[in-house]
Structure 1
Amino acid sequence: MLLGMICALASSVCFGAASVLQAVAARAAPPGTGSGVDVALLWRAVRQWRYLAGLGLDGLGFVLQIVALRTLPIYVVGAALAASLAVTAVLSSRVLRVRLSRVEWTAVAVVCAGLALLALASGPEGHRAGPDALGWGLLATAFGVLLVGAAGGRLPQRPRALVLGLGAGVGFGVVEVAVRLIDGPDPTDPALYALLLGGGSAFVLLTSALQRGAVTTATAGMVIGETIGPALVGVAWLGDRTRDGWTWAALLGFAVALAGSLTLARFGEAPEPAPEGGGAEAPEGERGGGSGRT
C-alpha cells in the first residue's frame, strides 16, 4: 500500500505540472470554429512544445496512476488525483508568480490533511471483478461523454464550461474504473474500449474548456466528475473497503480533500498576460494559475 500511495501522489504531481503547461498552450492555440468543442483544437494545441511536454507528464502520471489503482481503493486514488490542483497552485505560485491568498494556502494544507487521513483509513484494494454489465456500462458512459460534449458546445459560456468540465471528469473517471477491470489486452473486453474512448473524449472536452469559457468552473466540474462516481463504483461493486473501524475517517478525509481541491479550482485558469500600463484587471473568472488534466 505504501508503494501505491507514493505512486498516487507522484501521479498527482505529474498531472498538476502538466495542467500549467497545457492551459497556457490551449489558450495560445489559434481559435477555431467558435464551438464549445472543437476536435481540431487538440491538433492545434499539440503543435506547441508546452502542450507536448504536458502530454509527456500526463503519460507518466497515467502509468503511476495504473500502479496506484492496482494497489489502492479507487476513492484514495481519486482524492489524490483531485489534489493535483494543490500541486498546480503551488507550482503557479513559484513558476508563474501567481500569489496565493491565505485562504488558498489553507486549502493546500487542508488537501494534504485529507489525503493523510485517507491514507491512514484506507484498507486493501478490493478484488471483485464487478458484474458483467459493468464493462458495458463504462462503454455506454464513455459514449455519453461524447454526447455531453456535443450538447455542451451549444450552451452559453458559463454553463458550457461547467458541462464540458463535468463531462471531462466523467471520462477520466471511466478510465479509473476501467483500469481496475482490465486484466490484459483482450479485444473482446468492453472496458478496454471504454478506457480508450473515455480518455480520448475527456482530453478533447478538457482542451476545449481550457481555451473557451470560465475554466475555473470547468476545473471544479472535472474534479467532481472524476472523483465521486468512481469512488462509489469501487465501494459498491469492486470491494473497496476501509480499515476496521476507520470508515468515518475515510469519509472525512475524502470530503476534506475534495473540499480543499474545489477551493483551489480557480487554478484551472491559465494566467492572462498583464495589460500594458498595468491598470486594468483581468475579468472575473480569468485570473489565477493554469490547469488541465487532474
Structure 2
Amino acid sequence: MSTGLLAALLAALLTGSATVLQALGARRAAVGHRPGEAAALAGTLRQWPFAIGVGMDMAGFGAELYALERLPLYVVEAALASALAVTAVGASRVLHIRLRRTEWAGVAAVSAGLCLLAVTAGRDGEGHGSEGLRLGTLIVAVLLLVAGWAAGRFGGRRAAPLLGLVAGLQFGVVGVAVRVLPALSPAELWAEPSAYAVAVAGLGGFAALTWAMQCGSVTAATAAMVLGETLGPAVVGVAVLGDHTRHGAVPLAVLGFAAAIAGALALARFGDAEQPAVSPTAGTGA
C-alpha cells in the first residue's frame, strides 16, 4: 500500500513538473518566431528543458503502472489529477505565473483530498477482471477514437470540452486496461486485448487532448479531461473490480476524492502551462 501510494504521488510529481519544463522549452524556442511556426516547433525539440520534461513524462508513466498494480483505481486517478497542483506551483516559480486565491485554495484542496485518500484507501480488488472486460477496454478505446473525431469535426464551439472529455475517458481506459492486464510477459501480451487498449487509448487520448488545446479553451478542455479520467475508472474499480476503502471509511474516502477533483478543476488552466503566459492578463492575478 505505501509503495503504491508513493509511486502514484511520484507519477504526479514527475508529470506535473514535466509540463512546466516543456512549457519553458517551448517559450525559449518561440523567441523570434510566430506561434506555431515550424522553426519554433523544431526548436522546441532541441531545448534541454523540453527533452528532460519528455523523459520525466516517461518515468511518470512507469510509476503510474507500478501504482495501478497496487492501489485502488480511484486513488491512483485522483493522485494523477493532482499533477495540476504540481504544475501550478511550478509555473508560479519557474514561469512567473501568478496564482489566484482560488487556485491556491485548489492546491490546498488537492493536498487535503490526497491525505484523506491515503488514510482511507483499502486494498485493490482481487483478480484482473473477466476476459469480456479486457476485450471491452479495447472496444471502448476504438469507439472513443470515433467519438473524438466526431467531437472535433462537428462539435463547433463545444469541441474543446468534448475533446477534453474524450481524452480523459481514453486516459481512464489506459488505467483500467493496465489494471486488468493478466501478465506482463511479451509472450502473453501480444494476444491480450487490454495490452492493445493501452496503446490505442494512450495515443487516442494524447491526440484528442492536443486537438482540444488547438481549437478552444485550455481550461474547459482540461476540466473535462480531469472528470473523464477520474470518475470513469473509479466507478469501474469499485463496481466491477472490487476496490474498496478501509472498513467504515467510505464517507471520508468520498470526501477526499471529491476534494482532490474539485481542487484539480480549480487548477484546470494549467493543463497547458504555456497558455496563461501568452494571455494579455497573465501575471496580473486578474
Q: Could you tell me the TM-score, scaled by structure 2's length?
A: 0.86
Amino acid at match of 2:265: L
CA contact (8 A) 1:104 1:263 kept: yes
- Alpha-carbon distance between aligned partners in 2 of 1:195 and 1:11, rounded to the nearest angstrom: 17
Q: Which residue pairs with 2:254 in the alignment? A: 251
Q: Which residue pairs with 2:217 in the alignment? A: 214
Q: Displacement of 1:47 after TM fit? A: 3.8
- Number of corresponding residues: 269
Q: What does 1:158-237 correspond to in 2, within 5 Å? A: 158-182=157-181, 183-184=183-184, 185=186, 186=188, 187-237=190-240
Q: What does 1:1-294 correspond to in 2, within 5 Å? A: 1-22=1-22, 25=26, 30=36, 47=45, 49=47, 51-155=50-154, 158-182=157-181, 183-184=183-184, 185=186, 186=188, 187-269=190-272, 270-271=274-275, 281-282=280-281
Moved more, 100-109 or 60-69: 100-109
CA contact (8 A) 1:16 1:86 kept: yes
Q: Could you tell me the TM-score, scaled by structure 1's length?
A: 0.84
- Alpha-carbon distance between aligned partners in 2 of 1:157 and 1:77, rounded to the nearest angstrom: 33
* Structure with the higher helix share, 1 or 2: 2
Instruction: After superposition, give the CA deviation of every residue in 1:42-95 in whole Å (9 maximum; x if it has no partner).
Output: x97984545543322111001001111111101000000011111111001000
- Alpha-carbon distance between aligned partners in 2 of 1:272 and 1:253, rounded to the nearest angstrom: 28
Q: Displacement of 1:14 after TM fit? A: 1.1
CA contact (8 A) 1:5 1:68 kept: yes
Structure 1 gap ranges (5+):
33-42, 276-280, 289-294
- Alpha-carbon distance between aligned partners in 2 of 1:23 and 1:137, rounded to the nearest angstrom: 36
- Alpha-carbon distance between aligned partners in 2 of 1:86 and 1:263, rounded to the nearest angstrom: 9
Change (3 A) 1:274 1:135: closer
- Alpha-carbon distance between aligned partners in 2 of 1:131 and 1:45, rounded to the nearest angstrom: 47
Aligned-residue RMSD, C-alpha: 2.5
Q: Displacement of 1:23 after TM fit? A: 5.4
Q: Displacement of 1:96 after TM fit? A: 0.6
Moved more, 144-153 or 168-177: 144-153
Q: Displacement of 1:160 after TM fit? A: 1.1
CA contact (8 A) 1:30 1:44 kept: no
CA contact (8 A) 2:18 2:53 kept: yes
Amino acid at match of 1:105: W
1:4 aligned counterpart, secondary structure: helix
Structure 2 gap ranges (5+):
none
- Alpha-carbon distance between aligned partners in 2 of 1:177 and 1:273, rounded to the nearest angstrom: 35
CA contact (8 A) 1:23 1:210 kept: no
Change (3 A) 1:23 1:274: closer
2:226 aligned counterpart, secondary structure: helix
CA contact (8 A) 2:152 2:211 kept: no
Aligned-residue sequence identity (percent) comes to 48
Q: Displacement of 1:272 after TM fit? A: 5.5
- Alpha-carbon distance between aligned partners in 2 of 1:126 and 1:45, rounded to the nearest angstrom: 46
Q: Displacement of 1:250 after TM fit? A: 0.8
CA contact (8 A) 2:95 2:277 kept: no
- Alpha-carbon distance between aligned partners in 2 of 1:151 and 1:56, rounded to the nearest angstrom: 32
Amino acid at match of 1:175: V
1:271 aligned counterpart, secondary structure: helix
Q: Displacement of 1:21 after TM fit? A: 4.1
- Alpha-carbon distance between aligned partners in 1 of 2:113 and 2:129, rounded to the nearest angstrom: 28
- Alpha-carbon distance between aligned partners in 2 of 1:152 and 1:215, rounded to the nearest angstrom: 16
- Alpha-carbon distance between aligned partners in 1 of 2:114 and 2:53, rounded to the nearest angstrom: 24
Amino acid at match of 2:275: P
